[in-house]
Amino acid sequence: MGYPHRGSKKGRRWHPNLRRLQEYVNKAVLPETYHMPTIDEAFAKLASAHTLSKIDLVKAYNQVPICDMTSSLCTITTHQGLYKFKRLPFGINVAAIRFQRLVSELLNGIPGVVALLDDILISGENIDQHNVRLNEVLARLSAAGLRVHREKSVIGA
């Protein structure tokens, strides 16, 4: 079951209980800090690139499982009964930070790779180096259970 909402995807109106959930959880969750990479830092890391790829992750935050205690906080009432989120919902104030930390730690140690939330940039000074890095990134994403949005990804540009 997806998010409770009314209307089409383009003109999506969120269920009123979802807004209350976000407000409630944002008050209950302690703020976190984590260094979000800037575009200048990303460009500096990719400066020597001759081959570049961009991997886009499907529904970024929604791929991150949450613990039972947090899941209990993220329960809303719908016309079909209670809906308990098992994945990190959008609108939670720490969602971007937690997702960035997860992806950065997952890809740590691979040179020429920059994660900017749901976009991962992979560079190489030549095609062979790029392909080795790309395969390592894809292997780590697969091992972590994160899915790639093939249509939005660009390989070897």
Per-residue pLDDT tens digits for 40-95: 888 888 888 888 899 999 888 777 787 787 777 777 777 788 878 888 777 777 77
Tell me the three state secondary structure of residue 127: helix
In DSSP notation, 51-83 reads EEEEEEBTTGGGGSB--HHHHHHTEEEETTEEE
Q: What is the pLDDT of residue 36?
A: 78
Owner of token pair 């749901």: 118
Rounded to two decimals, the pTM is 0.71
